Amino acid sequence: MPSISLTSVSNYVLKDVSFTVRDGEFMVLLGHNGAGKSTLLNIIAGLIPYQGSVRFDDTPVDDISTEKRNVGYLSQDLALFPHMKVRANIGYGLRMRPDRKRSKIDDKVDALLEMMNIRHLGDRYPRDLSGGEKQRVALARAMAIDPKVLLMDEPLNSLDLMSAKYLRTEIRHLQKKLRATTLFVTHSLDEASEIADRIAVMDNGEILQVGTPDEIIFSPAEVRVRNFIGEPNIFECRSSRILENGLAVSRCGRLEIISPYEGTPIHKIAIQPEHVYVSTVAPAGPHINRFQGVVREIKHYPSMVRLTIEVAGQPILAQLPKRLSRMQAFTEGSEVYLILKLRWLQVLNSGAQWH
């Protein structure tokens, strides 16, 4: 698979964009709606005019038509043909190529149906599929042409949380298996940090920062990146101990925090305020990352409330919708319970001492 490089690319949205996606890399474009993410994908695919240069493996593709750039494109609306069954949808791009024999097309479609675990759906129409099934069919169609580059424009946006998480894992596994150079668009930092090799943060037609998820979260390069990712709670951890089932417990100040363990030392742990559960009554369930604290400050915003809670001498930010805040009736000085949700903890793996 090729690398992708953009040099001084501009149009009515993008402003002198230059960056590189490495061979076989899973790059996520992250930003608010209107930041220019989809426009950048359309430029790489050759769908809209632009100034500057786009290269695949150092070869300019600016004068090459869309169909000859050999790009797989998975759009947000999926664009499955409603009058075609699943097999026909997946094989459509192959049938448009005059050099493809029917038997080879059938073999390729069979292989993709098997790979995406949708063999039983081959004779159904899109109207008879669930949202997740449609996503798998659309992805299989995008991969059918053996694309040099795979572009995905918020493909999971319409799915519920659990379906999106499951399919996100499948997409990442498939991408690693095929080593497809991939650009994936999202507005969700959580989604980006879960699947990306690197993240490119975009705003107002510009690339603000390119880095690993740890670099973006722990070392934002400028104020616009910090404003986008919010103010994560960051815990400095001086020692850690390995538990079972892929977990570790780290001593962070006076707190012991259980987090995912991936085989390397834990230096910092971060969690966004919106993923901190807070309640005036003791929550049910296991006592994992459950703490008690005192509300020190309450800030009200148009749609949400932000609490600063002191826990073992350390401030922790929690954020929740106004509706939920009114139900809890928080007051400054009140005692509360909070939980640092394990699934949302972000770990920086370097520098801590282990025993």
- Per-residue pLDDT tens over the stretch 12-43: 999 999 999 999 999 999 998 889 999 999 99
- Let me know if domain 234-354 sits in CATH 2.40.50.100: yes
Residue 353: pLDDT over 50: no
pLDDT at 109: 85
Strand order in the sheet with 314-321: 276-279, 335-340, 290-300, 304-311, 314-321
pLDDT at 352: 43
Give the CA dihedral 23, 80, 166, 43, nearest 10 degrees.
30
SS3 sequence of the chain: CCCEEEEEEECCCCCCEEEEECCCCEEEEECCCCCCHHHHHHHHHCCCCCEEEEEECCEECCCCCHHHCCEEEECCCCCCCCCCCHHHHHHHHHHCCCCCCHHHHHHHHHHHHHHCCCHHHCCCCHHHCCHHHHHHHHHHHHHCCCCCEEEEECCCCCCCHHHHHHHHHHHHHHHHHHCCEEEEEECCHHHHHHHCCEEEEEECCEEEEEECHHHHHHCCCCHHHHHHHCCCEEEECCEEEECCCCEEEEEECCEEEEEECCCCCCCEEEECHHHEEEECCCCCCCCCCEEEEEEEEEEECCCEEEEEEEECCEEEEEEEEHHHHHHHCCCCCCEEEEEECHHHCEEECCCCEEC
**Mean pLDDT over each residue of the chain, to the nearest integer:** 87
pLDDT at 99: 63
pLDDT band at 209 (very low <50, low <70, confident <90, very high): very high
What is the pTM assigned to this prediction?
A: 0.76
CATH of 4-229, picked from 3.40.50.720, 3.40.50.300, 3.40.1280.10, 3.90.1640.10, is 3.40.50.300
Q: What is the spatial distance between Cα 40 and Cα 11, in angstroms, rounded to a whole number?
A: 10
Residue 351: pLDDT over 70: no
pLDDT band at 350 (very low <50, low <70, confident <90, very high): low
219 or 290, which is more confident: 290
Q: What is the spatial distance between Cα 10 and Cα 15, in angstroms, rounded to a whole number?
A: 5
Longest alpha-carbon distance in the chain: 74
Q: Which residues of 203-226 are buried (b: 16+ CB within 10 A; e: fewer)?
A: bebebbbbbebbebbbebeeebbe
Q: Report which of 229, 249, 224, 225 is spatially closest to residue 239, judged by C-alpha positions.
A: 249
The answer to whether residues 30 and 209 touch, using CB atoms and an 8 Å cutoff, is no
Residue type, 270: A
Calculate mean pLDDT across residues 217-222: 86
Calculate mean pLDDT across residues 210-226: 89
Query: pLDDT tens digits for 276-334?
Result: 999 999 888 888 999 999 999 998 887 788 899 999 999 999 988 888 878 888 889 99
Q: What is the spatial distance between Cα 148 and Cα 127, in angstroms, rounded to a whole number?
A: 30
Angle at 174 between CA 168 and CA 180, to 5 degrees: 110
Calculate mean pLDDT across residues 59-64: 93
Domain-wise residue ranges, the chain: 4-229, 234-354
List all residues 6 or more positions away from 245 whose beta carbon is below 8 Å from its beta carbon: none
pLDDT at 286: 81
Query: pLDDT tens digits for 226-246?
Result: 888 877 899 999 999 999 888
Q: What is the spatial distance between Cα 268 and Cα 263, in angstroms, rounded to a whole number?
A: 15
Query: pLDDT tens digits for 133-150?
Result: 888 888 888 888 888 899
